Amino acid sequence: MGPAPQAVSRQVRYSRDLDDWNASVDAAFPGSCIDAQRQEFVAHLNHYRIGSLGFRHIAGIRSHYARQDARQAARPANALATILEHGRCQHSQSGRVVELAPGDMAVTDPDRHHWLDFSGHYRLFVVDVPVANLLERRPDYTLHRQGGASLNPRQGRILCTLLQSLVRDYELLSRDSDWALSVERSVTDLLTTAVAGPAQDGAAGPSVRLRSAVIADVRTHLFDEQLSSTVIAARLGVSRRSVQLAFEAVGTTASRYILDRRLAHAAEMLRARPDASITDVAFDCGFSSSSYFSRAFAARYGASPRAWRGH
């Protein structure tokens, strides 16, 4: 077996210092702030990446976490799934306040104001869920409307158990690339299913119908180097701005969605075609520049295409 696809763990431990803990949390979640009754503060944050799956395992004591709106209009690539492992807390966003017990799960728009209030010692997982994956499963998904919603607790308990296993057996994943990639796919798919939830009842509105049409067009023409909002709009007989607005409502852009889908296919192709050059994979997935592909791939997966392949 080659090395796992650049599965990277970063661990930061803090003891007796709330200021240092605030600096660590702000680095992981920019714009965040922790308020507690005392300066002495025992907590730790472990950051894991297994391929495209990124998550943080956090433990702390009684405190209040808050994040303000992003200073600039943002279109996050990921939603956040918060899964409580131990303790109790309140989670709030978009006017919703939900009580979380062990195994409970809530979804968060990371670039909009939200807070969590912990009543005592706690442990939780915060997992990145790509918006592109959510739209693939459910074109009517709207992150800014779902932020703060609690999710199926039975699914949350299963996911919590899986994430506990990943933390416990991380060394195994770092040594076995095939197993790591299989685990990443399975957990990512389960997370996407849980966060997306069932489709909404009733007829889809015009923006959802257009978004569905755009997604179908992207699937058909994904590997076309010329694919863009302008080309899609011309094919569908709508304005380029209409295509942009259809994705703006769900906190992303058509260009980001296309990029995420191409990178996902490239990740599969790098493993399925070990003899193909990195440039060939890039061009076959619709990229016009091998260097841009390599930079975008590394930013998305935490590894260069060559390291991901294991060569």
pLDDT digits (tens), the chain, 311 positions: 444 444 445 556 656 689 988 988 888 888 899 999 878 888 989 888 887 788 999 999 999 999 987 655 455 578 899 999 999 999 999 889 999 999 999 999 888 899 999 999 999 999 988 888 888 878 877 777 777 888 888 899 999 999 999 888 887 777 776 777 788 888 888 888 888 776 555 445 677 888 889 999 999 999 999 999 999 999 999 999 999 888 876 767 888 889 989 998 998 898 888 899 999 999 999 999 999 999 999 888 878 898 887 64
Report residue 302 as tokens: 């935490």
The CA distance from 41 to 15, in Å, is 6
The CA distance from 12 to 5, in Å, is 22
Contact 283, 293 (CB under 8 A): no
Domains located in the chain, CATH noted: 8-196 (2.60.120.10), 206-309 (1.10.10.60)
Report residue 178 as tokens: 């095939």
Whole-Å CA distances, 74 to 45, 197, 241, 293: 25, 24, 18, 23
